[in-house]
Structure 1
Amino acid sequence: MPYTADMRRQPPSADELRGRIPGWGADLDPADRPSVPREKREPTGAHWDFPERQPENAPRERSLEHKFLTPAFGTTTPLHGASGAIRRFAYRRYSEGQTPHWLLLLAGDRVDAWESHLRSFATRHPDNPITESGILAEAGRRPLSSRLGRNRADLKHAWMDPIIVGGPWAAAVVVAWLGVRRLLKPSPTR
């Protein structure tokens, strides 16, 4: 939980900590600290106890562990679509320390990628999976000599990368081809 000025539970006093933890506070006396000349005890000049809060124009995701959002937060990519619903659910339902939270965020990223691909088909420049995925670059830039004998961590899954990246696109092309073929196939007359 973040520190707020109205916290009910106060931290233990120096005497309590000294009695509980052997050696605690050994450097409290400035004469015992070698870094004292470098430390500057100047006032910060802050005119606030807690900074002004940035207005929250749209609901933002925040962890269950936190009482509120930080005073300033980014809004460059607001949540949208099915991926946004998945991410909101991850933040609303699971703590950041739980695996389902992160798995849902990963799923939200994958759904967002596919939403982006689908949106690109409605533009004049749709995604090109052959040139944008790097499949051609893998085959053309010394694929074996750049991987073998170099202790690369990605060597174990390198054979899967073209399948994972290109497989869904190939499947989409096959499904579209079968659909068009079915539509153009003359219906049998009886």
Structure 2
Amino acid sequence: MRLRNKPWAQELIKNNEQYILVEPTAMAGNWQKRFAKSQPLELELGSGKGKFILEQAKKHPEKNFIAMELQTMAAAMILKKQLAEKLPNLQILVANGQNLLELFAVDEISKMYLNFSDPWPKTRHEKRRLTAPNFLKLYQQVLQDNGQLEFKTDNQGLFEYSLVSMSNYGLHFEQISLNLHASVLADDNVTTEYEEKFAQKGQPIYFLTCRF
């Protein structure tokens, strides 16, 4: 869903560059300099309005987090929340996931989150799905050797596609749930805005973790 642009967004971003970067250059391998401490670095690709990544950063002060979002307006909404929290272990990045290799160095990320990505259901749009082989190849390069990939969706078709795509690529599955909120994994689950809405309607949430 594309958010309507707000006139305050650009000014807010411009005045708070200590928390947010827009299509940065020369950041690959240098992300730890943006944080108060050098710690394991985790990336959410497509952070929406930021509920998940903000809660993760508060829950895990021993880790650093990057909220990566393509839409400037969504990133600005995350920034507003970050300005209230001022979390030292959270940075916001406005960029396209296709440019991961320009933004991050090899082995720079310890874990990646893909939460409720666009399913792109038409066959001709397969390469746009964030679990397609062309994206998995990017993740493999920026993730550390034992880095983990976590994926959640409400879309059964995308989940089934992702299982096949990841399996064919050679990933090793650690956890798989066809109904996350009814499973033992729910206790440690941090929800997104979309997730709460879907779960309230009784929609099952599909979930997996895997490693290359």
Please tell me whether Structure 1 or Structure 2 has the larger radius of gyration of its CA atoms. 1
Q: Which structure shows the higher strand fraction?
A: 2
Q: TM-score, normalised by structure 1?
A: 0.22
Q: TM-score, normalised by structure 2?
A: 0.20
Q: State the structure with bigger RCO (CA 8 A, min sep 6), 1 or 2.
A: 2
